[in-house]
């Protein structure tokens, strides 16, 4: 599924019903983060037009001719512009992960920065404040419904910030494979992969290790750091970003689609903290004509033995595109989305997702346990494409 805007990716600003109905969807807010990276790259699109520079223009500046210099300027502007909006999102989305796990069992989350007494309940407000304030924390005040006791959810709360960051790296991988993008996505991607290794979530990791010790798992900080680093090194997109930096230095285009060979997407690896232990998730896919068939396997390599398989299908039928994904673990989960492109400027999407907290996937993403172990998520999203 490749949009008409293959050179820029699917740049859009969206209004999603999940922002308001319940309001604790990691998937919906993650999509907002992708849109912020595209928005941060907009100045580069407006200032630089490398393709308009003639190949025969041999005017030199330092080591570059005019065309190469335009590519360098575009790449650096993409990096700076995207990072300026992505860094704040990285912090806010990390804390939002903690908040959604609180909300899932009935507590109303609040967010803050450092020692400040000012708190935020709305993610958008917290995100904009995170563009200027350092540090972050999550707590709660009041209840959304009568809290539900769920075994291991205290541990999952501590894991949720790291898990959200890694989940966002997954979303970057999907964006660059489906629609293409640019080097500006690299900042968010690497931060997500290596969040568990940094000083920021140190207190979270301490709590996670205490939870694992209570389960009798032989997991220490070194194991977590090594696993997070491995997820970066065993991901094809990591090397593609490195290659794009080389191309930037050579004065070539830094816009691209994720690598594939013979229709097979080169695999990427994610690392997650779960109630069952530490897991790797290996993701790939196969493209045939306009069809794409994503596939993934998540398995717990340290802790309780668990495996989940997900597979799906995607296609574009004129102005209508459809995406289906199924997850099979201890339970069955499903995600379905339909997109209709009315014109060059407007895209309307509708979707349904079935989450189950008994799955590794479900425990990270289920918005609420108010009505039991499953959650039926129905949503609409209107997008202004630019």
DSSP string covering 357-375:
TTSHHHHHH----TTSSEE
Q: Which residues of 185-222 are buried (b: 16+ CB within 10 A; e: fewer)?
A: bbbbbebbbbbbbeebbeebbeebbebbeeeebebeee
Q: What is the pLDDT of residue 368?
A: 97
Q: What is the pLDDT of residue 15?
A: 97
What percent helix, strand, coil does the chain show, rounded to 5? 40, 30, 25
With a CB cutoff of 8 Å and minimum separation 6, the contacts of 96 are 26, 29, 111, 123, 126, 164
Q: What is the pLDDT of residue 117?
A: 87
Other C-beta atoms lying within 10 Å of the C-beta of residue 68: 19
d(CA 385, CA 26): 22
Place of tokens 């939002």: 96
Q: What is the pLDDT of residue 66?
A: 86
Contact assessment for residue 292 and residue 316, using Cβ atoms and an 8 Å cutoff: no
What six digits make up the tokens of 8?
């820029």
What six digits make up the tokens of 141?
């005040």
DSSP state of 115: T
Q: Residue 128 phi/psi, 5° resolution?
A: -65, -35
Q: What is the pLDDT of residue 108?
A: 97
> Rounded to whole angstroms, what are the CA distances from 302 to 4, 72, 277?
43, 44, 6
Q: What is the pLDDT of residue 227?
A: 97
Query: Nearest to residue 24, comparing CAs of 370, 319, 385?
Result: 370
Please, what is the Cα angle at 115 between 112 and 121, to 5 degrees? 15
The number of helices, as runs of H, and strands, as runs of E, in the chain is 10, 17
Q: Which helix (H) or strand (E) holds 346?
A: strand 346-356
Q: What is the pLDDT of residue 263?
A: 95
Contact assessment for residue 283 and residue 295, using Cβ atoms and an 8 Å cutoff: yes
Q: What is the pLDDT of residue 67?
A: 87
Q: What is the pLDDT of residue 65?
A: 87
Q: What is the pLDDT of residue 185?
A: 97
With a CB cutoff of 8 Å and minimum separation 6, the contacts of 109 are 24, 98, 99, 100, 102, 103, 121, 138, 139, 140
What six digits make up the tokens of 85?
């909006």
**Predicted TM-score (pTM) above 0.85:** yes
Show the low-confidence residues of the chain (pLDDT under 70): 1-8, 53-59
Q: What is the largest CA-CA distance in the chain?
A: 70
- Alpha helices, DSSP H only, in the chain? 26-40, 42-47, 66-104, 123-130, 153-178, 186-194, 202-215, 221-233, 236-249, 360-365
* Burial class for 140, CB neighbours closer than 10 Å (0-12, 13-18, 19+): middle
């Amino acid at each position: 599924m490749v949009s008409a805007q293959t050179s820029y990716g699917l740049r859009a600003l969206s209004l999603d019903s999940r922002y308001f109905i319940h309001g604790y969807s990691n998937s919906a807010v993650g999509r907002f983060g992708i849109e912020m990276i595209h928005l941060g790259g907009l100045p580069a699109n407006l200032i630089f037009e490398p393709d308009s520079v003639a190949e025969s223009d041999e005017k030199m500046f330092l080591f570059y001719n005019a065309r190469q210099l335009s590519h360098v300027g575009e790449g650096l502007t993409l990096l700076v512009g995207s990072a300026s909006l992505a860094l704040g999102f990285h912090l806010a989305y990390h804390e939002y992960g903690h908040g959604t796990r609180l909300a899932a069992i009935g507590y109303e989350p609040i967010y803050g920065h450092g020692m400040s007494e000012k708190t935020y309940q709305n993610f958008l407000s917290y995100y904009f404040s995170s563009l200027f304030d350092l540090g972050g924390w999550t707590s709660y005040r009041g209840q959304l419904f009568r809290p539900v006791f769920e075994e291991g959810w205290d541990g999952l709360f501590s894991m949720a910030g790291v898990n959200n960051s890694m989940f966002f790296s997954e979303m970057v991988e999907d964006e660059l494979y489906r629609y293409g993008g640019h080097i500006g996505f690299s900042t968010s991607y690497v931060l997500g992969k290596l969040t568990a290794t940094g000083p920021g979530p140190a207190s979270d990791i301490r709590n996670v290790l205490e939870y694992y010790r209570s389960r009798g798992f032989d997991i220490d900080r070194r194991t977590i750091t090594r696993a997070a680093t491995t997820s970066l090194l065993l991901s094809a997109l990591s090397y593609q970003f490195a290659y794009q930096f080389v191309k930037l230095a050579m004065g070539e285009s830094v816009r691209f689609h994720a690598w594939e060979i013979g229709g097979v997407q080169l695999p990427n690896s994610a690392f997650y903290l779960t109630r069952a232990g530490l897991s790797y998730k290996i993701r790939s896919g196969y493209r045939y004509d306009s069809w794409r068939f994503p596939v993934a396997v998540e398995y717990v390599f340290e802790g309780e033995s668990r495996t989940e398989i997900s597979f799906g299908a995607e296609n574009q039928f004129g102005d209508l595109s459809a995406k289906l994904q199924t997850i099979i673990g201890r339970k069955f989960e499903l995600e379905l989305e339909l997109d209709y492109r009315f014109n060059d400027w407007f895209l309307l999407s509708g979707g349904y997702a079935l989450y189950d907290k008994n799955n590794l996937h479900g425990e990270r993403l289920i918005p609420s346990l108010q009505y039991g172990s499953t959650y039926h998520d129905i949503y609409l999203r209107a997008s202004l494409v630019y």
